[in-house]
Every structure is written in structure tokens, then in C-alpha cells.
Amino acid sequence: MKVVSPTTQSRPDVNEMVVIHRAFRREFTALPKLIRAVAGGDAARARLVAEHLTLILDGLHMHHTGEDAVLWPLLQVRAAPSTALVETMQHQHELVDGRTEEVRTQSAVWAQAPTPIYGEQLAQLVEDLANALFEHLDLEEREILPLVSRHITVEEWQSLGDHGRDAMSTRQLPLMFGAILEEADADERGRMLAQLPAPVRLLLRTIGARQYRRYITRVRAA
């Protein structure tokens, strides 16, 4: 593997990661409340909340597999003696993956039989996942992003986004982008959208934005 260090003029925009993490923190904080608010026996509402949970879990899986495939191998080579930190990040991914599978299993049970007991079990599992995830996100922002700025090129950083877009379905893409951009300021939104091909950018700004607003309004309805 060729060792490359980005120049000052070509450092990746690591704040993109902070914007993405913001969406995961918001959604995994809100989801236990949404689950607990579903009345026993309300199968339609349980399916909607479970589908939203699946969307966020799929987005998280896409985000982490991109790091596994692109980021960690490069940092292992270029960021020594910080390789122990990278190994910690990999271990945290494994922990989050394990809790994610528990959530997926219980979500399927609850969606089929939306009882208060199953709902509470699912809400607690989501909270356990969130605790592990938030610890990981905090460490990543504090320790990994500075390494990315020093050791990862703009092209390599952008390949993470390419991985995510390729991994998501045509239905998921505008919804996940909507979730990510929801709390982004104008500058953050502009910089993230600028990386996309013009047709995709137009779609997300128009039809995709309307689709996300309708979707998230239904999800968050009392």
C-alpha cells in the first residue's frame, strides 16, 4: 500500500463525519421514545416505526462498513503508532454490530406482535446500542478525525461517500440524506451536496427533500 499524506490544500472535509454522526445521535435518541409511544396492538404504527429503525440501522451499517473497507486499512499503515487506536475502533464496531443484530431481531418480533412488553424490550435494546454507539462516535471525532486530516487524501475520503451511496437503495437514499441534512447549516448542506453528481443533487434538493419531509412527519406523529 502506497503511503500518501495529504497536503494542506487537499485535506478532506472531516466535518462531514460530524454532520453524519449528528443524525445518528438524534435518531437513536428519539427511537426509544417513538417505540414506547406506540399503543399496544397498533400494528400499522409499529410497522412504520420499525421501518424507520431499519432505515437508520441500515444507514449506520453502511457508514461503518465504509470505514472498515476504506478508512481503517489506510490508517493502520499510515498512522503508526496510532494503530492501537484503530484496533479500538474496530473492536467498537464489532460491539455495535452485535447490538445492532439484537435490535433487528427484536424489532421484527415487535412489528409482528406490538405488545407493550415487546416494545419495552426493543426500546431498551436500542438504548444499549445507542450507549455503545455514542461512545464510539465521541472517540472517533476526538481521535480519528485529526488522523484523517493528516493521513487520508480527499479522494480516499470521498470514496467513503461513494461506498454509502452505492450501498443504499433508491428508496433509502433520499430518506437517509434527508436525515443527515436535517440539522446541517447552509454551509454544511452546500458542501455535502456539492460532492454529488448534478442529477443526484437536483433530485435530493427537490423531490427527495419533499419525500423526506412527508416521511419524517409521519414517523414523528404523536
Q: What is the pLDDT of residue 169?
A: 81
- CA proximity to 92, closest of 166, 53, 144: 144
Cell representation of residue 1: 500500500
Q: What is the DSSP code string of 69-123? A: IIIHHHHHHHSTTTHHHHHHHHHHHHHHHHHHHHHHHHHHHHHHS--HHHHHHHH
Question: Please, what are the domains in the chain?
Answer: 11-166 (1.20.120.520)
Orientation of helix 43-66 relative to helix 15-36, angle to 10°:
160
Q: What is the pLDDT of residue 222?
A: 66
Q: What is the DSSP code string of 177-194? A: HHHHHTT--HHHHHHHHH
Q: What is the pLDDT of residue 214?
A: 96
Q: Chunked in runs of 10, what are the mean pLDDT values of the chain (222 residues)? A: 49 94 98 98 98 96 92 90 88 97 98 98 98 98 95 92 76 92 94 86 89 96 79
